[in-house]
Amino acid sequence: MHTDDLIARLAAQPAPKPLSRPRLGGAMALSMLAPVAVFLLVLGTRHNLVAAWSNPVVPFKTLLPLLTCGLSLALVLRLIRPEARVGAAVWAYALPLVAALALWVAAFAQRPPAARFAEVGVFSLAECLGSILVLAVVPVVVMLRMARRGATTAPTLSAALIGLTAASGVAAGYSLFCSRDNPLFFVTWYGAAILIVTGVSALAGRRLLRW
Amino acid sequence: MQRTEDPLATLLSAANAGDRQAYARFLHAVTPIVRGIVRARGGRFPPDQHEDIVQDVLLGLHLKRHTWDEAHPLRPWLYAITRYKVIDAYRKRGVAVHVPIEDYSDVLPAEAQADPLTLRDDRAEVDQLLAQLDPRAAEVVRAVALRDEPQAEVSARLQISPANLRVTLHRALKRMADLGRKDQP
């Protein structure tokens, strides 16, 4: 086809619907909130949530994933524009990362060897990892689909960030249910679940977000 | 602010608001710029593939035109999509390449290059190339490409479907380009 013919054909098509990043961000946030809300409505929050938060370690369980989620969502929305780069913003991850590592190391140092990994068992791992992985399915799928409307020029990175957003978002929600407050447990296994989702999403997005 | 300075941005802004004429003018204005970048960065492709890549880029711009944020300058958006599509073209054709992220504004716009066929003004050479095709394909090339007959008429006369005609023509031209290159020293 001659290029002028192509142009004539393209110009005859109706104007696109505008892409509103705030609305896209809102819809993405909703895709995480919905499964978490259903989960918490069915199973309830942990017993005595308010009292549990008086332990200074416990709020981190929710706040660190929430921070990671917000940061990643902002980066996902930024990368929707083809000319955008992540750039120095990636250093903001140092905050939740260092905090999580500090919690882990401090807990390791404080606890006697027998108490360190006492919670680790088939049931507790299945509950923690399983819940986060299952809860993350819907937001990852929804967000990848939404991101296809955008024009990321870094598909794998965008998809990884979508996985990170979704998994850390639902992990923050799940933490309101989870009653295991040992950082050696939650840092390790929330972290593992988040990394798994991030990796799977990156693999899926390599193809899905290409255009 | 940037928007009022760049006529392309004004055009795309109007186009995204529903002005089809502005959109056509935008695409026409952008094509030589894209062509220039493809020519500068696509050096490892044979020139007859350049126009395909230019069209890929135009299609990319078309499909993603809603992702340009009017609060941002247009050129970086335009260059990012062009760069992505040029790399994509290399990937599809199995060549790894590094296209530097630099401003393309120093690249001069390039005009459309003449068809490989019209470049060969030596009629005998064209005939010699046509003789190497099967007769039906040769007739298609003669009618459509050399005599400029309307495709509908040609397909009626030769009793092949319009889609089939286009495929035949495309393959024949490609084959001739290959043969022509082989002949050259």
- Beta carbons within 8 Å of A188's beta carbon, 6+ residues apart: A104
| Domain-located, residue B41 | yes
Residues B17 and B80 in one domain: yes
Residues B82 and B140 in one domain: no
pLDDT at B120 over 90: no
Residues B83 and B138 in one domain: no
H helix intervals, A46-182? 49-52, 58-79, 94-110, 113-116, 122-147, 155-174
Tens digit of each residue's pLDDT (9 = 90 or more) over A77-129: 999 999 999 988 999 999 999 999 999 999 999 988 888 888 888 888 899 99
CB contact under 8 A, B77 and A19: no
CB contact under 8 A, A11 and B23: yes
Q: Provide the token pair at A15.
A: 């104007």
Using a CB–CB cutoff of 8 Å, tell me whether B15 touches chain A: yes
Residues B73 and B132 in one domain: no
- Domain end call among B42, B57, B92: B92
Min Cα separation B127/chain A (Å)? 24
Q: Residue A137 has what pLDDT?
A: 96
Cα–Cα distance measured from residue B159 to residue B115, given in angstroms and rounded to the nearest whole number: 27
| Domain-located, residue B82 | yes
Residues B124 and B63 in one domain: no
Min Cα separation A48/chain B (Å)? 46
**Which is nearest to A65 in space by CA: A179, A177, A167, A176?**
A167
CB contact under 8 A, B72 and A211: no
CB contact under 8 A, B27 and A151: no
Residues B80 and B33 in one domain: yes
| Domain-located, residue B54 | yes
Residues B6 and B86 in one domain: yes
Tell me the Ramachandran region of residue B115: left when phi exceeds 0, alpha when psi lies from -120 to 50, beta otherwise: beta
| Domain-located, residue B103 | no
Q: Residue B100 has what pLDDT?
A: 54
Q: Residue B83 has what pLDDT?
A: 92
| Domain-located, residue B104 | no
CATH for B150: 1.10.10.10
| Domain-located, residue B68 | yes
pLDDT at A38 over 60: yes
Give the mean pLDDT of B106-119.
Answer: 57
Provide the number of structural domains found in chain B.
2
Cα–Cα distance measured from residue A51 to residue A60, given in angstroms and rounded to the nearest whole number: 15
Indicate the burial class of B104 (C-beta count within 10 angstroms; 0-12, 13-18, 19 or more): buried
Residues B134 and B178 in one domain: yes
Q: Residue A149 has what pLDDT?
A: 92
Cα–Cα distance measured from residue A194 to residue A14, given in angstroms and rounded to the nearest whole number: 41
| Domain-located, residue B97 | no
Q: Residue B102 has what pLDDT?
A: 54
Tens digit of each residue's pLDDT (9 = 90 or more) over A43-71: 988 888 888 888 889 999 999 999 999 99
Residues B6 and B87 in one domain: yes
B142 DSSP 8-state letter: I
Using a CB–CB cutoff of 8 Å, tell me whether A149 touches chain B: yes
Cα–Cα distance measured from residue A143 to residue A198, given in angstroms and rounded to the nearest whole number: 13
Q: Which one is predicted more confidently, A22 or B109? A: A22
pLDDT at B185 over 50: no
Range of the domain at B173: 116-183
Residues B121 and B173 in one domain: yes
Q: Which one is predicted more confidently, B115 or B162? A: B162
Q: Residue B142 has what pLDDT?
A: 82
Tens digit of each residue's pLDDT (9 = 90 or more) over B33-71: 999 988 888 777 777 788 888 999 999 999 999 999 888
Residues B167 and B86 in one domain: no
pLDDT tier, B178 (very low <50, low <70, confident <90, very high otherwise): confident
| Domain-located, residue B21 | yes
CB contact under 8 A, B59 and A6: yes
Cα nearest neighbour of A14 on chain B: B18
Give the mean pLDDT of B14-39.
Answer: 91
